[in-house]
Chains A and B, each alone.
Chain A
Amino acid sequence: MPKTIKEINERIAKGKAVVLTAEEIIDLVEEKGLDKAAEEVDVVTTGTFGPMCSSGAYINIGHAKPRIKLGGGKTYLNDIPAYAALAAADLYIGAAALPDDDPRNKKHPGGFEYGGGHLIHDLVAGEDIRLVATAYGTDCYPRKKLETWINIKDLNEAVLFNPRNAYQNYNCAVNVSDEIIYTYMGVLKPGLGNANYCSAGQLSPLLNDPLYKTTGIGTRIFLGGAQGYVVWHGTQHDPGVARGDNGVPLAPAGTLAVLGDLKQMQPKWLVGASLQGYGATLTVGIGIPIPILNAEICKYTAVKDEDLYAPIMDYSEAYPQCKPGSLGKVSYAQLKTGSITVDGKEVPTASLSSYPKAREIAGILKGWIQKGEFLLTEPLAGLPGPDSGYAFTSLPERPIE
């Protein structure tokens, strides 16, 4: 008997909804079968907590007296350059931003100890942030300099707005060269010395909704410890990649653009990260609820690590040079054992995405829904699906003569 989101919300409001995490649904489906499980369960919660580089926040600092137009000038927050090309008092902080005097990779591999991601974490943690701005001055905005402490509690708005998060599946990165390399997938030792992956697998939001049947624009989610929303498909959304019989992509595919009130979020779920030799970023906690409207949706949420596969990609040559082809595929179940076999060699594995934190997020979201604090939303529009023709293309470079 199919359900509607409205019916599920009525049960949530009464505190009667049956909510399981994406791990728990696996056992229930095995025990009771798909139809029975789909009938009993209202919502399955997912979670992921990993470095998501295409993240950032916009803030409005309020108007100084006399007024200053930050737009078109330069603004720094804790020495991190903020994007100041949005009117007078709006700024955007990108997770990958670095202080002008950061040595970057001049002494390779750089440490990237403090970047935009760390700044966002400090802002959310309620720490005072040092703002230094210069502007060109106008008749209506005469001031040319501003130096002040700011604090999130005094900002008019502080909004996390991440253009690309929650990648649906990701590469397992290795290094076939004979030199160590430092990548956004971590340090990769030569000669297939290690393999790093980055997905929560069976807990990961879009691996539980592979065809975007329930997640769409307007879906309310767990974002950084508060309630947020899916606002668009993410950049580089690539729904048309090869998929397995279960509908799950065999390569990085769908992505989400997400937004939420930074003032409500918690520093625990937005953590600055430094990737040696690569850069600074933000580790973001996201959890998406999936309404179990029918048995088909239930089946997708019961997907197991052994049925989810990551492509093994060489990051010494194939990835940087955009050469197609992988070194094979490997299941998340195998990745989680700590060792995989590539070209006949046993390779130790590690994850950039935290599975225990993904589990914690799915549990928190489950608690919110059970207590009636979090109602599900009907998507306003769907995300481009596998048959939409929507695809991620590389840059058609046209050299400038």
Chain B
Amino acid sequence: MTSKRIVLRFPPRLINRPIVSDLVKRYDLEFNILKAYVTQREEGLLVLEISGTSDACERGLNYLAEVGVSVQPLSQDIVRDDDRCTHCGLCVSVCPSGALALDRETMMVLFDNEKCIACELCIKACPTRAMELHF
């Protein structure tokens, strides 16, 4: 079993198609929706965690690409600007997934973007705006 966190962008023509359910039916993948919305240009944006066999994950992702969904790993999306971060730690208490955590020895803020679910709560909580969204 592997699991991947991915950001999917659906062009307007695909919005009405049940593509995610195909992932379940055809490729036996499980999914957990982390975020979903439709942008003003009527592009659908979906952040999913999918899990299944590594073969199924790969075939599922290929299917998404074939039908015209753009796929990107989630970890690229929330980025910390290390020049702006002052390591105050204010983001730590709003982060629901533990992606932002304090090293209690050094009191430095650690950011593990593998754990990040791109909820964006840290973006506004950060006083120096060191957390950026790169969707």
Question: A residues engaging B (CB < 8 A)?
Answer: 49-51, 109, 111, 113, 186-187, 189, 194, 196, 271-276, 281, 283, 336-338, 348-357, 359
Determine whether the beta carbon of B108 is less than 8 Å from that of A356: yes
Complexed CA–CA distance, A186 and B86 (Å): 15
Expressed in whole angstroms, the minimum distance between the Cβ of B84 and any Cβ of chain A is 8
Known: A274-B127, A337-B104, A353-B88. 4 other contacts (CB 8 A): A271-B84, A281-B127, A352-B90, A357-B86
Is B128 a contact of A350 with CB atoms below 8 Å? no
Q: Which residues of A contact B124 (CB under 8 A)?
A: 109, 111, 276
Which single residue of chain A is at the shortest CB-CB distance from B125? A187
Identity of the chain A residue whose Cβ is nearest the Cβ of B92 in the assembled complex: A350
**Min C-beta distance of B119 to chain A, whole Å:** 13
- Top 9 closest A-B pairs, CB basis? A273-B127, A350-B93, A355-B107, A194-B93, A354-B88, A354-B86, A356-B87, A351-B89, A276-B124
Q: Which residues of chain B are within 8 angstroms of A51 by Cβ–Cβ distance?
A: 127
* Chain B residue at smallest Cβ distance from A276: B124
User: Restricting to B74-114, which residues have a CB under 8 Å from any CB of A?
Assistant: 84, 86-94, 102, 104, 106-108
With contact pairs A186-B125, A187-B125, A275-B127 given, residues A354 and B87 touching in the complex (Cβ less than 8 Å)? yes
- Asked whether A348 lies within 8 Å of B93 as measured between CB atoms, the reply is yes
Q: Which residues of A contact B92 (CB under 8 A)?
A: 338, 348, 350
Q: Which residue of B lies closest to A109 (CB)?
A: B124
Does B86 lie within 8 Å of A271, measured CB to CB?
yes
B90 touches which of A186, A189, A337, A359 (Cβ 8 Å): A186
> B residues engaging A (CB < 8 A)?
84, 86-94, 102, 104, 106-108, 124-125, 127-129
**A50 CA to B129 CA, complexed, in Å:** 15
Q: Which residue of A lies closest to B121 (CB)?
A: A187
CB neighbours of A353 from chain B (8 A): 88
CA distance A49 to B129 in the complex (A): 16
Q: Which residues of B contact A354 (CB under 8 A)?
A: 86-89
A167 to chain B, nearest CB (A): 15
Please, how many angstroms separate the alpha-carbon atoms of A186 and B88 in the complex? 12
Whether the Cβ atoms of A351 and B104 lie closer than 8 Å is no
B86 to A283, Cβ gap below 8 A?
Answer: yes
Which A residue sits closest to B129, measured CB to CB? A274
Query: How distant is B27 from chain A, measured CB to nearest CB, in Å?
Result: 39
- Check B94 against A187 for contact (C-beta < 8 Å): yes
A196 to B129, CA, bound (A): 18
Distance in angstroms from B126 CB to nearest chain A CB is 8
In the bound complex, how far is the Cα of B106 from the Cα of A359, in angstroms? 10
> Smallest Cβ distance from A31 to chain B, in angstroms?
20
Which residues does chain B contribute within 8 Å of A349, judged by CB atoms? Answer: 93
A182 to B106, CA, bound (A): 28
Residues in chain B near residue A113, CB distance under 8 A? 129
> Could you list 12 examples of A-B contacts with CB < 8 Å?
A49-B86, A51-B127, A186-B90, A274-B127, A336-B104, A348-B93, A350-B89, A354-B87, A355-B89, A356-B87, A356-B107, A357-B86
B88, B89, B91, B125: most-surrounded residue (chain A CB, <10 A): B88
Q: A353 vs B125: C-alpha distance in the bound complex, in angstroms?
A: 14
List of A residues within 8 angstroms of B104 by Cβ: 336-338
Q: Return B88 CB to nearest CB of chain A, in Å.
A: 4
- In the complex, what distance in Å separates the CA atom of A281 from the CA atom of B129? 13
